Amino acid sequence: MRLTRFLSLIAISTALWAQPAVIVAHDATSAVQAGDVLQVEVRGPAGGVASFQIEGINRVWPLHEERDGLYTADYTVRRNDNLNNKLLTATVKTGGGQLYRGEAPNRIGTPVPVVTLPPSTGAAGELQVRSIDVQPRDWLKAGGVASFEVVGTPGSRATLTAPGYFTNLPLSERVPGRYSATWTVPSGRGVLPGQPALLARLTRNDQSAIRLSGEQLRVDTVAPVVLACVPGNDENLALGQTELQVAYDEGNGSDLDRTRCTFYVDNQAQSERARYGDGLVTLRLPTALAPGRHRWGLTLVDRAGNVAQSVTNTFTVVGPTANLEVRHSATTAPQPGEVVTVTFTGPTGGRASFSIGTVATDQPMTETRQGVYTGEYVVRRTDRLAGLPVVVNFADGAGRRQQVRSDQAIGQVDNGRAPGTSGALAAPVITSPTANSTVEEQTALRGTAPAGARVEIVVEGTARVAGFLEMKVDPIKLAAVVNGEGVWATAPVRFERPALAGRTTYTITAVTVSGDRRSEPTVIKVER
C-alpha cells in the first residue's frame, strides 16, 4: 500500500475547512539518502496531466494516473541529489486547460504536521466521541459485512463517514452511549479498493462532536490482475531455463494470499516453489524441462479472497540461441545511488529488458547500436544486489522469446570468486528474510551463492524477558546446496519466541563452503 491512507487523512481534515484543488503527499518523513525511493501521490481533477517539482531543482517529473484523480510516481534518489528540507509541489492540468497547483504539507525529510480532531474536554453539557471500533479488522471483499461501534455521550444522533465508501451512515443507540451499525460492501466499480479512516459525528440540539479514528475500513473489491507471463502462451523457453515468471497488479487493495495461490507445471503442483517479489512471482523449478511442448498454469488470490482469472499457457522448450551475451558493470557490490549498466548483444530489431534477481525486474533496454541493447538501474538504499544473477528477456523480430543469463553475478569478476581475491569463495547473499525485518514463526531462508557450493547457516536468538532479563534461544544449524542457477533455500525455520518474552532478536550467519574453502560469513539480524 502506498500513501493512500495518508492522503485520506489529509482529505478528511481539509474537508472540514476548505477543500484544496490538489492534495500532495510524499513518504519522505525522515532524511533521504542515495538509493532511497521517494514515493509521491497527488489527488486532483481526473483525466489531467500531472507532474511534480522539487524546490531548487530545475526539473519536472511526470506523474501517472493510476485511477480517476489519483496520480503517482516513484523517484530513486541519486548520489548527487540534495533533496532534504526541500518543498515538493505538484500541478494538474485538465483537458480544458485549467491548471491546479498544490504543495506537500511537509518538506522532504521532515515529519508531517499532524491535524488533530480531539473529542471535547468533557465539560458539563458537551458532547464526546470517546472511541470508534470496526470489525473485522481484516480485508473485506464485495458482499462482506463490516460492523461499527461508536462510544460517546448518550442520547445523541450518531453518523459515520468513510470517504469514498459512504457518508453519514446512521448508527442506532441500542445501549445508552453505544451506537452501532453494519455495512455491506457493494459489488461493482462503485467502490474502489483502499483503507479509508473513519470519521464519527455526534449531534444533539445545537452541539456536535467529531472524532477521527485510527482504525481503518479495509476493503478490496478488485481481484488481482495478471499482467504478463514468461513464457506466455505459444512462446518459447530456452533449454536449461528453470525460472517461470508472472507479473501481476493487486491495485491499491490487499496483497496476494500466498497460501491460496496455486501454480502447476505439466499437471504437477509447484506452488511451494513460488518466490514472491514486488508485483512479480518467480517459479523456480527443481530441474530444467526437457525440449518440447509443456503446459503451466496459475491462480492468484488476494487476502480479501478475490480470485484472479486463472491463466494456462502452453509453451515450447527450445535449444539455445547462438551468439547471445549479457554483461554488466557491477564487478563490485554497487552502493546506493550508483548506476548499474547492463549490455546485451544479440540479433538486431528485437526488444529487450533485464532483471537483477527479484530486486529489479523488467528494466527497459534500448538498442543503442546495431544488435547491442543497453539499460540502467539506479541502486536503491534498501537493495541487496551482491551475488544476484542478471537475466535479459529478449524477443526477436518474429516474437520468439529467449532468456539469457550473465556469466557473472552482481559483484563477481570471476565465476564463484569474490572481487579482488584469487581463490576465496564469494560470501553467500541472504535474500529472504531481509536484514532488520520481522519474520513469521515459520520462515524459510533463501539466498544466492556460487553454483554447486554448499551453504552452512546458523540461527541464534536472544529474547528479553520482563523487560530486562536476557535469555538465549537454542541455536539452529542448517545446510543448503546451491543449484546450478546460484540459488539456495532451506526448509522453514521455526523462529520461536519464549513465553513471557517480548521481541526476540535472531542473528543469522551464513558461510559458503566448497571443498576445503570457506567464504567470509554473511550476518544479518531479524526480529520476531
Domain CATH code at residue 199: 2.60.40
Q: What is the pLDDT of residues 286-296, one digit of tens each?
A: 887 877 788 99
Report how far residue 43's alpha carbon sits from residue 199's, in angstroms, rounded to the nearest whole number: 20
Report how far residue 262's alpha carbon sits from residue 307's, in angstroms, rounded to the nearest whole number: 11
- Same domain, residue pair 77 and 136: no
Confidence grade of residue 422 (pLDDT, cut at 50, 70, 90): very low
Model pLDDT, residue 419: 44
Of 496, 520, 487, 391, whose CA–CA distance to 442 is shortest? 496
Segment 267-274 mean pLDDT: 89
- Same domain, residue pair 457 and 510: yes
Model pLDDT, residue 320: 52
Report how far residue 272's alpha carbon sits from residue 283's, in angstroms, rounded to the nearest whole number: 9
Q: Per-residue pLDDT for 149 more than 80?
A: yes
Model pLDDT, residue 125: 57
- Residue 487 domain-assigned (yes or no): yes
Report how far residue 81's alpha carbon sits from residue 85's, in angstroms, rounded to the nearest whole number: 12
Model pLDDT, residue 13: 40
- Same domain, residue pair 313 and 330: no
Domain CATH code at residue 497: 2.60.40.10
Q: What is the pLDDT of residues 183-217, one digit of tens each?
A: 998 876 445 556 677 889 999 988 888 888 766 77
- Residue 515 domain-assigned (yes or no): yes
From residue 316, alpha-carbon distances to 124, 239, 292, 312, 401 in Å are 78, 9, 5, 14, 11
- Residue 122 domain-assigned (yes or no): no
- Same domain, residue pair 305 and 334: no
- Same domain, residue pair 446 and 489: yes
- Residue 490 domain-assigned (yes or no): yes
Report how far residue 373's alpha carbon sits from residue 371's, in angstroms, rounded to the nearest whole number: 7
**Which of 216, 234, 263 is the last residue in one of the domains?**
216
Confidence grade of residue 220 (pLDDT, cut at 50, 70, 90): confident
Segment 270-297 mean pLDDT: 85
Q: Per-residue pLDDT for 257 more than 70?
A: yes
- Residue 399 domain-assigned (yes or no): yes
Q: What is the pLDDT of residues 54-97, one digit of tens each?
A: 998 888 999 998 877 788 999 999 888 889 999 999 999 888 78
**Which of 285, 318, 351 is the last residue in one of the domains?**
318
199 Cβ neighbours under 8 A, 6+ residues apart: 12, 117, 160, 161, 162, 163, 210, 211, 212, 213
Beta bridge partners of 454: 481, 513
- Residue 480 domain-assigned (yes or no): yes
Domains in the chain: how many in total? 5
Tally Cβ neighbours within 10 Å of residue 307. 15
- Same domain, residue pair 141 and 191: yes
pTM attached to this predicted model:
0.38
From residue 413, alpha-carbon distances to 73, 324, 387, 450 in Å are 35, 19, 11, 12
* Minimum mean pLDDT range among 70-79, 252-261, 493-502: 493-502
Model pLDDT, residue 468: 58
Report how far residue 191's alpha carbon sits from residue 141's, in angstroms, rounded to the nearest whole number: 10
Domain CATH code at residue 311: 2.60.40.1220
Neighbour-count burial for 483-496, b at 16+ CB within 10 Å, e otherwise? bebbbbbbeebebb
Confidence grade of residue 435 (pLDDT, cut at 50, 70, 90): confident
- Same domain, residue pair 212 and 229: no
Model pLDDT, residue 466: 57
Q: Per-residue pLDDT for 52 more than 90?
A: yes
Model pLDDT, residue 403: 79
Domain that holds residue 492: 429-527
Tell me the percentage of the chain whose pLDDT exceeds 90.
18
Q: Per-residue pLDDT for 444 more than 70?
A: yes
- Same domain, residue pair 304 and 343: no
Of 164, 52, 56, whose CA–CA distance to 102 is shortest? 52
Domain CATH code at residue 64: 2.60.40.1930
- Residue 116 domain-assigned (yes or no): no
From residue 315, alpha-carbon distances to 175, 203, 243, 308, 325 in Å are 63, 64, 13, 21, 23
**Which of 216, 250, 279 is the last residue in one of the domains?**
216
Report how far residue 44's alpha carbon sits from residue 23's, in angstroms, rounded to the nearest whole number: 7
- Same domain, residue pair 257 and 334: no
- Same domain, residue pair 231 and 211: no
From residue 78, alpha-carbon distances to 56, 143, 377 in Å are 16, 46, 11
- Residue 413 domain-assigned (yes or no): no
Cell 478475490 identifies what position? Answer: 306
Segment 147-161 mean pLDDT: 92
Segment 44-49 mean pLDDT: 84
Chain mean pLDDT for the chain: 81
Which strand (E) or helix (H) includes residue 13? helix 4-15
- Same domain, residue pair 299 and 333: no
Q: What is the pLDDT of residues 310-353, one digit of tens each?
A: 888 888 877 554 457 788 888 788 889 999 999 998 888 889 99
Distance of alpha carbon 34 from its chain centroid, rounded? 19
Model pLDDT, residue 379: 92
- Same domain, residue pair 445 and 480: yes
